[in-house]
Structure 1
Amino acid sequence: MKVTKSAAAQPPRTEASSPGKVKPPPKKTPRRLPRAERQERVLAKAAEYFSEHGLDAQTRAIADACGVSQRLLYSLFDSKAALIEEVYNREIAGLFKAMWFVTLKDRSVALEDRLNTFYRDYYETLLTRRWLRLFLFSSLAGLRMAPTYTNAIVTHALEIVVAEAAHDAGRAVPTDKAQVTEIGWLLHGAVSHLAIRRRIYANDSATPPEAVIAMNVRAFLASIPAILPEIESSK
């Protein structure tokens, strides 16, 4: 049998040199997150989206921003209203520390120190850019976030502040609850507006916020004797 030149030039095939099919590695099935963890992730992204774009967005846009399908969004939250309510609980009311009520009443610490500590912490922890934008957007959308938060939490804090200021100055607390609240807002509103100026208006200043808070606290305490009535002496 005659062997052609081309055939002779080819090396003999061996089992090692034969091309073999390499099996691809098995695909890993993504771990399914627990429902609570998925809700937390969606809530965090939804809060960020709402704070930047407002609360009147369509659910499809919200789902896209959260990186989930619209169907999954509705499986985690019954409605857009339910999602917004959870955002309020987590991002608005949830950041307030109940311990603040306790420390404000601790008379073993000087009142000026208590107020400075509370409002510095309140400014840094709660009055963030995201919190303020959510709070303002909810009001513009006609939602009840701001009144609910104010009535449930802020009013109680203001009553404590005024009661402690009255005790410290030897003055009486007005019987009119609305008046007490307005007196408390003199200080609380000043700190809140400081946060709005710095974090919403981007009104930078060389004066550190804690120094501004300290000035507001001193001014508030100095005004108390002129604002609150004297304690009536019992005869």
Structure 2
Amino acid sequence: MTNRSQMTRRATRPTMKQSPDGSAKRTRQHLPAAERERQIVEAAADFFAEHGLEGQTRELAKTLGITHSAIFRYFPSKEALIERVYDHVFLSRWDPDWRGLLSDRSQPLEQRLIRFYHAYAERIFDAQWMRIFMFAGLKGYPMTNRYVSLIRTQLIRPACGELRAELGLPTLASLPITAREEEAFWALHGMVFYLGIRKFIYGMRTQGDQSQIIADDVRAFLAGAPFILRAACGTSG
């Protein structure tokens, strides 16, 4: 995170130029608008990960070596900048193929879940992602609820349907999903997510290989989930 900030500052810092009388003169590097906008978004992601979303844009401008007003030539408000950071940090890492992976019944559900959570962890286990997500949640920014809603509709609920199919239970179309089975899948998601929290929020190392831990979490979940789903669907056996 720090290295990326330093690179951004070096890329945007005004350069020194010799004037005819031999004195140094500061000149600002002129960049295409799209490039300057990209640099502001990347620097803002680092800045908010370090200081939280309450961090002042005036201080952000200082890290970029530009005027405060320059930021607002590209973004009409701080909220608009935060929205772009959300796109850059969260949505750009979302893989629409994940849902297809979960629904590919040519593979056992255990294998699908393990593959998905390995891929998911590779995308989100990052200090910038984790810290902004936590800061946003603590301060009540809507991006957190939007992202959680995305997980719920694109991953959690479809996975519930896949487990029902694996167990020969009624489809979601014939029997609406219950809160109990949805909460069971959130528990699995939380176990994997907590590995990232421990590393990037608490500064703790996980004991053992991350891939193996994720596989163990999935298998532990699948060992108990059939009982929960059969009970939630009103079946026995």
Matched, 1:94 2:92: yes
In the alignment, which residue of structure 2 is the partner of 1:226? 227
Q: Residues 187-206 of structure 1 correspond to what in structure 2 (within 5 A)? A: 187-206=188-207
What is the identity percentage for the equivalent residue pairs of Structure 1 and Structure 2?
A: 37
CA distance in 1, matches of 2:63, 2:182: 39
Q: Which amino acid aligns with 1:41?
A: Q
* CA positional deviation for 1:133: 0.4
Matched, 1:207 2:205: no
CA distance in 2, matches of 1:73, 1:90: 17
In the alignment, which residue of structure 1 is the partner of 2:164? 166
Quick check: 1:171–1:225 contact (8 Å CA) kept in 2?
no
Quick check: 1:46–1:65 contact (8 Å CA) kept in 2?
no
* CA positional deviation for 1:180: 4.1
Instruction: Please point out which of 79, 104, 107 is paired with 2:105.
Output: 107
Q: Residues 35-50 of structure 1 correspond to what in structure 2 (within 5 A)? A: 35-50=33-48
* CA positional deviation for 1:54: 0.6
Quick check: 2:113–2:218 contact (8 Å CA) kept in 1?
yes
Unaligned runs of 5+ in 2: 1-19
Matched, 1:149 2:135: no
* CA positional deviation for 1:34: 2.3
CA distance in 2, matches of 1:125, 1:165: 24
Scaled by the length of structure 2, the TM-score of the pair is 0.79
* CA positional deviation for 1:176: 4.1
Unaligned runs of 5+ in 1: 1-21
**Distance of aligned partners of 1:110 and 1:74 in 2 relative to their CA distance in 1, 3 Å threshold:** same
Q: Which amino acid aligns with 1:142?
A: G
In the alignment, which residue of structure 2 is the partner of 1:85? 83
Q: Which amino acid aligns with 2:57?
A: T
Which has the larger helix fraction? 2
* CA positional deviation for 1:130: 1.1
CA distance in 1, matches of 2:167, 2:191: 21
Specify the structure having the higher radius of gyration (Cα).
1
Q: Which amino acid aligns with 1:56?
A: E
Aligned with 1:39: secondary structure?
Answer: helix
The CA deviation string for residues 43-69 of structure 1, in whole angstroms up to 9 with x for no partner, is 111001100111112221011123322
CA distance in 2, matches of 1:167, 1:72: 55
* CA positional deviation for 1:177: 5.0
- RMSD, aligned CA: 2.5
**Distance of aligned partners of 1:129 and 1:108 in 2 relative to their CA distance in 1, 3 Å threshold:** same
Q: Which amino acid aligns with 1:220?
A: F
